[in-house]
């Protein structure tokens, strides 16, 4: 097979490739003009992985996603083994990121994505083929992305993972491409797209509209990771269906199997994982309080040992949150054409709220909300309830 034939096959079947470019949306790396190029030596790669790394680089070279470089910049790579057994190359751009001008464009709020789904019965999820690699680098900034390997120095023609501006710039691209469809027939988070519809016929029409738009700008999908016309799909760590939104069993398994924390880092990791689903847990802040206080009382070191600070209150909070998330309810979609019912529970220990709506089958919980109170704050019961109402209203709806 000739080189031209290999390029043609790669372009057709393997996502972004030669001449497959979104030329109107170049990505740039605007760095501090007074900074100097950062250069680091490559890190040793185990001999057993060298051939896999070479094959991976050859694939990127074939599709001209990377090219050999003579850049003064050089970032090391780290080889990570994926669950599938394949390798992933990670690029350590920390030195470059330190001097890069940040991009303030906001990423979508996941809650807002879920709030758009009221009345939906059919769902399709689309995954872009190597999403970042479909976005071109600005020619003047290509050399800044150079990375070093045992096989030489290369830089990117396409947007790589690891740059601090990459998520923001890719989000801007997708928002521009899908702007007139957002929150009408679809929502997106970076390279994850969700199309939703109240009936089958309109769903097919909406899919066609999205496909046409993607084709217009040259964005390719990864069919193996797409789901079409389903009554239930997984999206951003949630399971979506006509009935409502629930936690993703795969993610909850990670919570359920989380080992007992022994360091500050462990506690912070658990609270981050559990906190992602706080809207599913009534009085989350109050239940998590013993764990949150561990972060406030300890030294800044992430590896600080908890020792005897891990007491029975912490054990109870840890197990309670794991239990609540394992048996979390299915929450309804917020319908902004119908009235809401807000119930507030307030005490000096914290604030809790339940947002519900009346449906044909009775009251349906939309979300739980909670927050702690400062120790210095002492309020009358009426004041507490007012604070609770204001907090939940402003914070979510």
Average pLDDT on 296-320 reads: 81
Instruction: Give the closest residue to 116 by CA, choosing from 190, 187, 208, 178.
Output: 187
pLDDT at site 7: 45
**For the residues 84-111, what does the mean pLDDT come to?**
88
Q: What is the second-level CATH architecture of the domain 249-326?
A: 2-Layer Sandwich (3.30)
Residue-wise pLDDT for 166-224, tens only, equals 998 899 889 999 999 999 999 999 889 999 999 999 999 999 999 999 999 889 898 88
CATH code for the structural domain at 110-131+165-245: 3.30.70.270
For residues 154 and 56, the answer to whether their CB atoms sit within 8 Å is: no
What phi and psi values does residue 208 have, to the nearest 5 degrees? -60, -40
Question: What are the extents of the domains in the chain?
Answer: 3-104+134-156, 110-131+165-245, 249-326, 341-395
Instruction: Let me know: does 350 contact 285? Beta carbons within 8 Å.
Output: yes
State the average pLDDT for the chain.
85
Q: What is the mean pLDDT of residues 12-33?
A: 54
At 193, which helix (H) or strand (E)? strand 192-197
Task: Report the alpha-carbon angle 103-107-110, nearest 5.
Answer: 165
> Taking the CB of residue 312, how many other CB atoms lie within 10 A of it?
8
Tens digits of residue pLDDT in 344-360: 876 666 778 888 998 88
1 compared with 175, residue with greater pLDDT:
175
Read off the pLDDT of residues 119-177 as tens digits, 9 standing for 90 and up. Answer: 999 999 999 988 888 889 999 899 999 999 999 999 999 999 999 989 988 998 899 99
Residue 221, phi then psi, degrees to nearest 5: -105, 160
114 in Cβ contact with 120 (< 8 Å): no
| H-state helical runs in the chain | 3-13, 47-62, 94-98, 110-115, 166-178, 200-217, 249-256, 264-275, 284-297, 312-326, 381-395
CB–CB of 57/149 below 8 Å?
yes
Instruction: Say if domain 3-104+134-156 classifies as CATH 3.10.10.10.
Output: yes
Q: Do domains 3-104+134-156 and 249-326 have the same CATH topology?
A: no
């Amino acid at each position: 097979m000739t080189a031209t034939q290999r390029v043609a096959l790669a372009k057709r079947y393997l996502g972004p490739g030669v001449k497959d470019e979104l030329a109107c949306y170049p990505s740039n790396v605007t760095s501090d003009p007074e900074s100097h190029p950062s250069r680091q030596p490559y890190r040793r790669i185990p001999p057993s992985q060298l051939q896999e790394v070479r094959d991976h680089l050859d694939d990127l070279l074939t599709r001209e996603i990377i090219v050999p470089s003579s850049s003064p910049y050089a970032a090391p790579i780290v080889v990570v083994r994926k669950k599938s057994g394949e390798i992933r190359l990670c690029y350590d751009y920390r030195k470059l990121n330190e001097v890069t001008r940040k991009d303030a464009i906001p990423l979508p709020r996941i809650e807002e994505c879920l709030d758009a789904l009221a009345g939906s019965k059919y769902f399709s999820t689309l995954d872009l083929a190597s999403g970042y690699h479909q976005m071109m680098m600005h020619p003047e900034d290509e050399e800044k992305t150079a990375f070093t390997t045992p096989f030489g120095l290369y830089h990117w023609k396409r947007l790589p993972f690891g740059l601090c501006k990459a998520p923001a710039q890719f989000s801007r691209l997708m928002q521009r491409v899908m702007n007139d469809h957002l929150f009408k027939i679809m929502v997106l988070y970076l390279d994850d797209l969700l199309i939703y519809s109240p009936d089958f016929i309109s769903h097919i029409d909406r899919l066609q509209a999205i496909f046409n738009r993607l084709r217009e700008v040259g964005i390719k999908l990864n069919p193996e990771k797409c789901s079409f016309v389903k009554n239930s799909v997984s999206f951003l760590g949630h399971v979506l269906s006509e009935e409502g939104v629930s936690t993703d069993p795969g993610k909850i398994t990670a919570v359920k199997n989380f080992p007992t924390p022994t360091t500050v880092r462990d506690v912070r990791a658990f609270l981050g994982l559990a906190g992602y689903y706080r809207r599913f847990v009534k009085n989350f802040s109050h239940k998590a309080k013993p764990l949150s206080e561990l972060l406030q009382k300890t030294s800044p070191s992430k590896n600080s040992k908890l020792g005897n600070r891990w007491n029975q209150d912490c054990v109870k909070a840890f197990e309670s949150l794991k239990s609540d998330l394992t048996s979390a309810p299915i929450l309804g979609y917020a319908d902004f054409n119908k009235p809401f019912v807000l119930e507030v529970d307030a005490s000096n220990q914290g604030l809790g709220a339940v947002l519900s709506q009346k449906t044909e089958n009775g009251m349906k919980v939309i979300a739980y909300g909670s927050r702690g109170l400062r120790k210095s704050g002492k309020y009358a019961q009426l004041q507490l309830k007012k604070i609770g109402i204001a907090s939940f209203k402003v914070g979510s709806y």
